[in-house]
Structure 1
Amino acid sequence: MKRVGAEPAYVLHRYDWSESSLILEILTRHHGRVAVVAKGAKKPSSNFRPILLPLQQLEVAFGGDAEIRTLKAAEWAGGQVMPTGDALLAGYYLNELLMRLLARDDPHPALFDAYAGAVHVLAGDHAESLEPALRSFELLLLREIGLLPSLNLQTLTMAPLAAGGRYALVPESGLIAIADDDARAALHGDQWSSLQRSLDDAAPFSSTVAQIPAFAAELKPMLRALLHYHCGVSTLRTRQMMMDLQSL
C-alpha cells in the first residue's frame, strides 16, 4: 500500500506494544478502520504522545503493506474539547460498537461523517441531544454495514406499513407488525417511515437526530437488542460500565 497522507481519522482503541510504542485502531474517512503502530509514542519526548487521544479528530499519515501499518505523522485537526462525564462514556460506547461491528479496511465515508457529528454533539453542552445522537448513529451504523432492514416496509412480506399500525424491529425477523395489546416496544408505521426518509436525506445524521426525540424511549430497546444480537453479547462492556457507575 502506498503512503496515505492528510487522512481524517479518530482513535478508537489503543494497545501497548513494546515498552515505548502503541498499536492503534483508527477510524479513517477513506480507508475505514485501520490498525497502525505508533513507534515511540509512549516516550515523554514523542510528538505523538499528546495527540493520539480518543474522540479528537486528527489528520494522519501512514504506510506499509502489512496488516498493521506504520503511523508516519499525526496532527490534531481541532474542532472540540474532550467530552466528559456521561458524554465521555457515550463516546467510548460508539468506539466499542465500531470495534465490534466494522471490519478493517472497509471504508464508509458516510459513517465517518456520522461519527464526527456524534462526537461534536458529545463535546457540546447539549445534554438533551445526547440520546438522539446515539440512536441516530446506531441506525446509520447498522444501515452502512447492511444490518438494518428497510424501515418503510414489513421485512418478511415487503408489504407497506400502515400509518397507524404498530411495528417492532426484531433481530431475526426485521420489521414486523404486532398487535395493539402486545407489550413490546414498537413504533407506528408513520414513525418508521419518517426515520427511513431521514436516513435517505442528504444529511442523514442531523436529519435523523431531529426525528428521534419524539419516540427515543421506544426506539432504544429495539436498537439495543439488534446491536447485541449482531455483536454476539448480552451486554456491551461500556454499557456495563455505565450501569456499574450508576449503581454507585
Structure 2
Amino acid sequence: MRLTGEPGFVLHARPWRETSLLVEVLSANHGRIGLLARGLRGPRSQPLRAALQPLQSIRFDAVQRGELAQLRAAEALDAAPRLTGEAMMAGFYLNELTLRLTPRDDPQPDLFAAYARTRERLRAGEPLAWTLRRFERDLLDALGLGFEWSVDGDGEPIDPAARYRLDPEHGPRRLLSDRGQADRSGAATGRGLLDLGADRQPGNADLPGLRRAMRGVLAHHLGPRGLKSWEMFGGLQKAASPQLLDRQD
C-alpha cells in the first residue's frame, strides 16, 4: 500500500539503530500507522527530524509492505504546540493513551478529529482537567467503548444528585447512599456525568470524581500494564496540591 500526502499526528518517535527512527502516527485515513524513517543523519535531515516530533501535525508519503511502513517524505503542516509544565504532561498523556488503546491500520476518523481538537485546546491553554476528560470520552466513543451519559446501565435516567461508578461493560451504576466512603471514592456525580455527555464544563467539585471514574474504565481496557503518564502524574501529586489533573488552570 502506498500512502501519498497523508495527514497525520505524530504520537511517538524513538531511535532505531544509528540513523533511523521508529515513529507512530495517527493518520487521517488509515488510523494508527508505524513508520520506519531511515537515514536521519546530517544537517540535511534536520527538517525531517523536526517534523517527526510528538504532537506535530504532518503530511507524509510512505510505502507499507509489512507491519511497518517505510517513510519516504514528511513535512510539518504547522508549529506543534509549545507546552510546558502540566500542559506538557497532558500532551504526553494524550499521546500515550492514544498509542496504547488504538490498533494499527484501523481507520479512526472520529478519533483523528477529536485528537486535533484536543491538541488545539492544549495550545490555547484551556483547562487541562476538562480538556482531558473530553478527549477520554471521545476516544472511548470512537473505539465503540463509550456510554450513553444520560441514562445508567439499566436504562434509568441519571440522577444529578446521585453518585455513580462507571462499569466498563455495563455503564454507569448508581451507588446506594449507605455505601462506605472507600466505595464512593472512585465514583462520579450524576451531575458530572450529565455535563460530560452534554459537553458542558462541570463545576470544580465534579471534576475529580469524573477523573477517577474515567480512569477506572481506561485501566480496564488497558489491562494490567498502566500508563507511564499516570506514574508521572502520581509523583507530581505527591509533591503538590491540589491534584494535577483536577486543576482548572
TM-score exceeds 0.5: yes
- Using the TM superposition, give the Cα deviation of residue 172 of structure 1 relative to its aligned residue in structure 2, in angstroms: 4.9
CA separation of 1:42/1:112 partners in 2, compared to 1, >3 Å: closer, same or farther? Answer: farther
**Contact 1:22/1:38 (8 A) holds in 2:** yes
Q: Tell me the TM-score normalized by structure 2.
A: 0.83
SS in 1 for 2:90: helix
**Contact 2:22/2:37 (8 A) holds in 1:** yes
In the other structure, the counterpart of 2:75 is 75
Picking from 222, 227, 234, the partner of 2:218 is 227
- Using the TM superposition, give the Cα deviation of residue 245 of structure 1 relative to its aligned residue in structure 2, in angstroms: 4.3
- Using the TM superposition, give the Cα deviation of residue 152 of structure 1 relative to its aligned residue in structure 2, in angstroms: 2.3
Aligned pairs (5 A) from 1:56-71: 56-71=56-71
CA separation of 1:29/1:167 partners in 2, compared to 1, >3 Å: closer, same or farther? Answer: same
Aligned pairs (5 A) from 1:1-248: 1=1, 3-46=2-45, 47-78=47-78, 80-126=80-126, 129-155=127-153, 157-162=154-159, 164-182=161-179, 183=181, 184=184, 185-188=187-190, 191-196=192-197, 198=198, 208=199, 210-213=200-203, 215-233=206-224, 235-245=226-236, 247=238
In the other structure, the counterpart of 1:202 is none
- Using the TM superposition, give the Cα deviation of residue 246 of structure 1 relative to its aligned residue in structure 2, in angstroms: 5.0
**Contact 1:194/1:211 (8 A) holds in 2:** yes
- Using the TM superposition, give the Cα deviation of residue 162 of structure 1 relative to its aligned residue in structure 2, in angstroms: 4.2
**Contact 1:22/1:42 (8 A) holds in 2:** no
- Using the TM superposition, give the Cα deviation of residue 40 of structure 1 relative to its aligned residue in structure 2, in angstroms: 1.2
Considering only aligned residues, what root-mean-square deviation do their CA atoms show, in Å?
2.2
- Using the TM superposition, give the Cα deviation of residue 234 of structure 1 relative to its aligned residue in structure 2, in angstroms: 6.5
CA separation of 1:98/1:80 partners in 2, compared to 1, >3 Å: closer, same or farther? Answer: closer
SS in 1 for 2:71: strand
CA separation of 1:213/1:66 partners in 2, compared to 1, >3 Å: closer, same or farther? Answer: farther
What fraction of aligned residue pairs are identical, expressed as a percent? 36
- Using the TM superposition, give the Cα deviation of residue 87 of structure 1 relative to its aligned residue in structure 2, in angstroms: 0.8
SS in 1 for 2:207: helix
Structure 1, unaligned stretches of length 5 or more?
A: 199-207
**Contact 1:136/1:212 (8 A) holds in 2:** no
Q: Distance in 2 between matches of 1:18 and 1:44?
A: 18
SS in 2 for 1:41: coil
**Contact 1:57/1:78 (8 A) holds in 2:** yes
In the other structure, the counterpart of 2:246 is none
**Contact 1:135/1:212 (8 A) holds in 2:** no
Which amino acid in structure 2 is aligned with residue 132 of structure 1? Answer: W
CA separation of 1:99/1:125 partners in 2, compared to 1, >3 Å: closer, same or farther? Answer: closer
SS in 1 for 2:128: helix
**Contact 2:92/2:229 (8 A) holds in 1:** yes
Which amino acid in structure 1 is aligned with residue 133 of structure 2? Answer: R
Q: Distance in 2 between matches of 1:118 and 1:82?
A: 14
SS in 2 for 1:229: helix
**Contact 1:80/1:120 (8 A) holds in 2:** no
Q: Distance in 1 between matches of 2:214 and 2:70?
A: 36
**Contact 1:42/1:49 (8 A) holds in 2:** no
Deviation digits for residues 176-219 of structure 1 (CA, Å, limit 9, x no counterpart): 1212343312322x6534433x3xxxxxxxxx2x4344521221
Q: Tell me the TM-score normalized by structure 1.
A: 0.84
